[in-house]
């Protein structure tokens, strides 16, 4: 990838002297910052902006490592082909009019893919904005040269954005507001070859990059993406676009790629420790915060709040607690120090309202803010400080260098929420940025970012093996149980699960009323009788379930009733009725982007109503499985809610891992739905289940 970022020479195919065209802007941007050879290519001109212009790429002198292509889409494949012939290792195709523009554009895009596969030339784009490197001053893009003329703010955050224009507007906005400097910003567009995985991988080894933010509308290599995230030591923040029904439709037409299911994406990102951002601004805020501050060594989340105003402290506390943080109980020493700053009537509490202390010392040399901050940072019960200040008061000043020194010495994160007059605020923001203090103009943003920094990070752990089920699986499993396609009935689904190590409720099929009574006696009362029809589903709604059967005559009655209702078809299943009060859902789905994914959630009617489920990508490590279980909102249900048994999370995690392993080992299983998985005193068992088979894959 190095030739994309640091090429020794660049050809611009489609260069033009017309200042309203992108082919001019690309050239102009190169002239403003790039120090290597620049070679305009366009048969219509002999010279552009003082540079010799070449009729074709073949005429360009060595060395040239990169070509930026900005010609109408129908001419792009020929231009790329010529680059491959010329031996250029990489092209940035910035033209639009490909898959995002309908069938004929899609055809052109496929031609680009073919050229890449055939010649090995790396293609970045099409339909993209290229890249900006603020550290080296490179803009390989048709974005407005005015941005570069006003200067780029270098920093340690690198960004990948799928959409083209986004990078331009956002970048200028971000940099000019002194909220963040950037290292590299890459616009990936339609991703015929180079995609976010290539860039993420490159950033992991890039010394100029400390944190990485990505705006993505699809994950064409979902599993590779997760694998790279898993081994990253640099914080990664992702904003997923195209979440809503209509948003997803727009994503389809915009990048012509498949938008993933919102919940699956959220689960996959959480699983590998990636922070999901709610919007662009938060993505930037998170990247900057994580680049500037390290989590406290205590690993705890106790925050001291120090504000310029009592009301600000109250609302800050609301937001910090909503974000899952707790407020520190201040030590006696801290309380004494603060009491010394305050007027006598002022009680000391956290949140600390500093105004009475400021007012008391107005006109003196006393730096109340720094004094209070120092005492809070020294308190062993304080893991982080949330600071609010007003920039531009004429009666006292904010000593940011002093604060930065205190923060560095304490090695505890301090987040600054700053208000003030626009003219006075800006220099203080710039000063904070240069001193490495994360500064925010919104409480809500600051609180969310602090919470993200202090959140538990999933410890690195080898993912569960993808070995599949152990040796207990019968040799004839595939032939006997996994033949066919479509949904299997409850009994056969559970036979498969049992064979693969998932506990199921004791049950067997009954041939007639006598056999049903015998089965019930074997299993032990109470039992359940169910009628299984070829259609399989909606047993309850069709009256094909008899619960709580307590004796032989009732078994016979239920058997005859089911037979009658099924009109001679189907089978009757006798099942031991399990007593547990905790109903769960456990399932497997195959996501087109991430492959086999395990779903876990609370079962029962109302849980379905509240859609309390979470996803993770297989294989799962033990901790990932425990985290998946921990992501369900109704956690209380697992911890002995209203007399229900306490769920053994370790045992449940093993089941979760097992479902993922089954998904990896048996591609012919398209879906598993265990609903309910009932947890009783003796552990969990699948009480009802449906497995959906695909046609078996063709023999290799």
Region 156-215 residues binding a copy of itself, contact defined as CB under 8 A: 161-166, 168-170, 172-173, 176-178, 215
Question: Is the Cβ of residue 392 or residue 536 nearer to a copy of itself in the bound state?
Answer: 392
130 forms part of the interface with a copy of itself (CB under 8 A):
no
- Cβ neighbour number for residue 504 with a 10 Å cutoff: 22
Q: Where are the beta strands (DSSP E) in 405-526?
A: 414-420, 439-440, 486-487, 507-510
- Residue 131 CB, shortest distance to a copy of itself, in Å, is 16
- Residue 539 CB, shortest distance to a copy of itself, in Å, is 12
266 vs 594: CA distance, rounded Å: 12
Selected binder of a copy of itself within 35, 50, 205, 246 (CB under 8 A): 246
Residues 653, 657, 659, 662, Cα dihedral to 10° = -160
- Residue 164 CB, shortest distance to a copy of itself, in Å, is 7
| Stretch binding a copy of itself (CB under 8 A), from 5-13, 48-56, 143-151, 460-468 | 143-151
- Cβ neighbour number for residue 174 with a 10 Å cutoff: 23
- Cβ neighbour number for residue 550 with a 10 Å cutoff: 12
Question: Is the Cβ of residue 21 or residue 622 nearer to a copy of itself in the bound state?
Answer: 21
| Stretch binding a copy of itself (CB under 8 A), from 9-17, 96-104, 367-375, 467-475 | 96-104
398 vs 56: CA distance, rounded Å: 60
139 vs 212: CA distance, rounded Å: 19
Nearest to 62 by CA among 100, 80, 89, 81: 89
Question: Is the Cβ of residue 53 or residue 632 nearer to a copy of itself in the bound state?
Answer: 632
- Residue 537 CB, shortest distance to a copy of itself, in Å, is 13
Selected binder of a copy of itself within 207, 363, 459, 697 (CB under 8 A): 363
- Residue 374 CB, shortest distance to a copy of itself, in Å, is 22
Applying the rule CB under 8 A, the residues between 519 and 558 that interact with a copy of itself are 541
Per-residue binding string, a copy of itself, 260-289, x by CB under 8 A, is ------------------xxxx--------
- Residue 63 CB, shortest distance to a copy of itself, in Å, is 32
Q: Is the peptide bond before 290 cis (omega within 30 degrees of 0)?
A: no
338 forms part of the interface with a copy of itself (CB under 8 A):
no
Applying the rule CB under 8 A, the residues between 611 and 640 that interact with a copy of itself are 612, 633-634, 636-637
- Cβ neighbour number for residue 372 with a 10 Å cutoff: 23
For 570, residues 6+ apart whose C-beta sits below 8 A from its C-beta are 531, 532, 533, 534
| Stretch binding a copy of itself (CB under 8 A), from 54-62, 347-355, 454-462, 483-491 | 347-355
604 forms part of the interface with a copy of itself (CB under 8 A):
yes
343 forms part of the interface with a copy of itself (CB under 8 A):
yes
- Residue 697 CB, shortest distance to a copy of itself, in Å, is 35
DSSP 3-state percent helix, strand, coil across the chain (nearest 5): 40, 20, 40
CA 41 to chain CA centroid, nearest Å: 41
Nearest to 419 by CA among 401, 400, 402, 443: 443
Nearest to 130 by CA among 100, 166, 79, 182: 166
Question: Is the Cβ of residue 304 or residue 499 nearer to a copy of itself in the bound state?
Answer: 304
Contact 23, 15 (CB under 8 A): yes
Q: Within 13 A of 225's CA, how many CA atoms are on the CB side?
A: 23
Question: Is the Cβ of residue 62 or residue 149 nearer to a copy of itself in the bound state?
Answer: 149
Question: Is the Cβ of residue 318 or residue 511 nearer to a copy of itself in the bound state?
Answer: 318
Contact 143, 167 (CB under 8 A): yes
407 vs 385: CA distance, rounded Å: 10
Applying the rule CB under 8 A, the residues between 558 and 587 that interact with a copy of itself are none
Selected binder of a copy of itself within 50, 205, 207, 347 (CB under 8 A): 347
- Residue 159 CB, shortest distance to a copy of itself, in Å, is 12
Question: Is the Cβ of residue 7 or residue 531 nearer to a copy of itself in the bound state?
Answer: 531
CA 145 to chain CA centroid, nearest Å: 33
94 forms part of the interface with a copy of itself (CB under 8 A):
no
Applying the rule CB under 8 A, the residues between 18 and 77 that interact with a copy of itself are 18-22, 73
Greatest alpha-carbon span in the chain: 100
Applying the rule CB under 8 A, the residues between 636 and 675 that interact with a copy of itself are 636-637, 641-643
578 vs 525: CA distance, rounded Å: 10
Question: Is the Cβ of residue 64 or residue 582 nearer to a copy of itself in the bound state?
Answer: 582
Q: How many residues does the chain have?
A: 700
Selected binder of a copy of itself within 12, 57, 83, 147 (CB under 8 A): 147
Question: Is the Cβ of residue 234 or residue 254 nearer to a copy of itself in the bound state?
Answer: 254
- Distances from the Cα of 16 to the Cα of 21, 47, 51, angstroms: 7, 9, 11
- Residue 358 CB, shortest distance to a copy of itself, in Å, is 9
Question: Is the Cβ of residue 472 or residue 605 nearer to a copy of itself in the bound state?
Answer: 605
Question: Is the Cβ of residue 321 or residue 402 nearer to a copy of itself in the bound state?
Answer: 321
Please provide the DSSP assignment of 2-71 as one string: HHHHS-SEEEEET--S-TTSHHHHHHHHHHHH--SEEEEE-TT-SEETTEE-BSSGGGPPSP--EEEE-S
Structure tokens that stand for 122 in this block: 């790396």
200 vs 109: CA distance, rounded Å: 23
Question: Is the Cβ of residue 229 or residue 283 nearer to a copy of itself in the bound state?
Answer: 283
Query: How big is the site for a copy of itself, counted in residues (CB under 8 A)?
Result: 113
Residues 356, 357, 363, 364, Cα dihedral to 10° = 160
Question: Is the Cβ of residue 474 or residue 543 nearer to a copy of itself in the bound state?
Answer: 543
- Residue 507 CB, shortest distance to a copy of itself, in Å, is 24
150 forms part of the interface with a copy of itself (CB under 8 A):
yes
- Cβ neighbour number for residue 132 with a 10 Å cutoff: 28
Please give the span between the terminal C-alpha atoms of the chain, in angstroms, as a whole number: 34
Selected binder of a copy of itself within 79, 239, 373, 414 (CB under 8 A): 239
- Residue 454 CB, shortest distance to a copy of itself, in Å, is 16
Applying the rule CB under 8 A, the residues between 404 and 463 that interact with a copy of itself are 419-423, 425-426, 441-444
Selected binder of a copy of itself within 139, 238, 265, 312 (CB under 8 A): 312
- Residue 21 CB, shortest distance to a copy of itself, in Å, is 7
- Residue 25 CB, shortest distance to a copy of itself, in Å, is 8
Contact 580, 679 (CB under 8 A): yes
88 vs 81: CA distance, rounded Å: 10
Question: Is the Cβ of residue 58 or residue 543 nearer to a copy of itself in the bound state?
Answer: 543
Question: Is the Cβ of residue 354 or residue 496 nearer to a copy of itself in the bound state?
Answer: 354
Structure tokens that stand for 591 in this block: 């996501």
Applying the rule CB under 8 A, the residues between 379 and 408 that interact with a copy of itself are 390, 392-395
Residue with tokens 């067997």: 508
365 forms part of the interface with a copy of itself (CB under 8 A):
no
């Amino acid at each position: 990838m190095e030739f994309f970022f640091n090429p020794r020479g660049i050809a611009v195919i489609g260069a033009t002297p017309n200042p309203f065209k992108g082919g001019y802007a690309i050239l102009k941007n190169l002239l403003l910052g790039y120090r290597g050879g620049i070679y305009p290519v366009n048969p219509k001109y002999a010279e552009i902006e003082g540079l010799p212009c070449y009729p074709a790429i073949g005429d360009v002198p060595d060395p040239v490592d990169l070509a930026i292509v900005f010609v109408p889409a129908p001419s792009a494949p020929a231009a790329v082909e010529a680059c491959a012939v010329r031996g250029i290792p990489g092209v940035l195709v910035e033209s639009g009019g490909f898959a995002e523009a309908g069938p004929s554009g899609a055809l052109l895009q496929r031609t680009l893919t073919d050229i890449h596969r055939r010649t090995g030339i790396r293609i970045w784009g099409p339909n993209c904005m290229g890249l900006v490197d603020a550290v080296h001053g490179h803009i390989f893009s048709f974005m407005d040269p005015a941005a570069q003329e006003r200067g780029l703010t270098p920093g340690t955050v690198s960004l990948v954005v799928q959409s083209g224009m986004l990078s331009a507007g956002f970048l200028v906005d971000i940099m000019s507001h002194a909220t963040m400097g950037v290292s590299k910003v890459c616009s990936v567009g339609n991703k015929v070859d180079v995609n976010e995985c290539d860039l993420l991988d490159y950033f992991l080894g890039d010394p100029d990059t400390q944190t990485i933010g990505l705006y993505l509308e699809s994950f064409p290599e979902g599993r590779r993406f997760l694998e790279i995230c898993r081994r990253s030591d640099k914080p990664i923040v992702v904003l997923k676009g195209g979440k809503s029904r209509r948003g997803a439709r727009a994503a389809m037409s915009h990048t012509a790629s498949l938008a993933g299911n919102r919940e699956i994406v959220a689960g996959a990102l959480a699983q590998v420790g990636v922070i999901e951002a709610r919007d662009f601004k938060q993505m930037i805020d998170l990247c900057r915060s994580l680049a500037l501050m390290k989590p406290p060594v205590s690993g705890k989340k106790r925050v001291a709040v120090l504000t310029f105003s009592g009301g600000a402290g109250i609302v800050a506390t609301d937001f910090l607690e909503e974000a899952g943080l707790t407020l520190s109980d201040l030590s006696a020493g801290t309380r004494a120090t603060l009491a010394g700053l305050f007027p006598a009537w002022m009680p000391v509490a956290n949140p600390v309202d500093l105004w009475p202390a400021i007012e008391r010392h107005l006109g003196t040399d006393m730096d109340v803010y720094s004094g209070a901050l120092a005492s809070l940072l020294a308190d062993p019960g304080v893991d982080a400080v949330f600071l609010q200040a007003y920039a531009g008061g004429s009666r006292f000043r904010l000593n940011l260098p002093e604060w930065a020194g205190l923060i560095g010495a304490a090695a505890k994160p301090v987040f600054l929420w700053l208000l003030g007059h626009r003219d006075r605020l800006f220099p203080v923001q710039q000063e904070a940025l240069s001193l490495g203090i994360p500064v925010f103009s919104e409480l809500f943003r600051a609180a969310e970012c602090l919470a993200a920094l202090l959140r538990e990070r999933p410890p690195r752990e080898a993912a569960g093996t993808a070995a599949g089920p152990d040796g207990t699986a019968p040799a004839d499993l595939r032939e006997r149980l996994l033949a066919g396609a479509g949904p299997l009935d409850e009994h056969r689904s559970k036979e498969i699960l049992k064979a693969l190590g998932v506990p199921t409720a004791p049950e067997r099929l009954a041939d007639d009323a006598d056999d049903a009574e015998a089965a019930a006696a074997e299993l032990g009362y109470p039992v359940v009788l169910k009628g299984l029809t070829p259609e399989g589903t909606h047993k309850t709604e069709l009256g094909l379930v008899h619960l709580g059967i307590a004796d032989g005559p009732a078994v016979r009655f239920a058997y005859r009733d089911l037979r009658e209702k099924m009109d001679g078809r189907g089978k009757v299943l006798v099942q031991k009725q399990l007593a547990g009060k905790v109903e769960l859902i456990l399932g497997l789905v195959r996501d087109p982007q991430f492959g086999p994914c395990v779903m876990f959630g609370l079962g029962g009617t109302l849980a379905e109503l509240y859609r309390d489920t979470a996803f993770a990508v297989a294989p799962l490590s033990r901790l990932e499985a425990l985290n998946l279980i921990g992501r369900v909102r109704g956690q209380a249900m697992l911890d002995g809610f209203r007399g229900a048994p306490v769920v053994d999370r370790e045992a449940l995690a093993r089941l979760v891992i097992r479902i993922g392993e089954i998904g990896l080992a048996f591609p012919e299983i398209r879906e598993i739905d265990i609903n309910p998985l009932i947890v009783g005193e003796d552990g969990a068992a699948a009480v009802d289940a449906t497995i959906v088979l695909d046609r078996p894959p063709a023999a290799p």
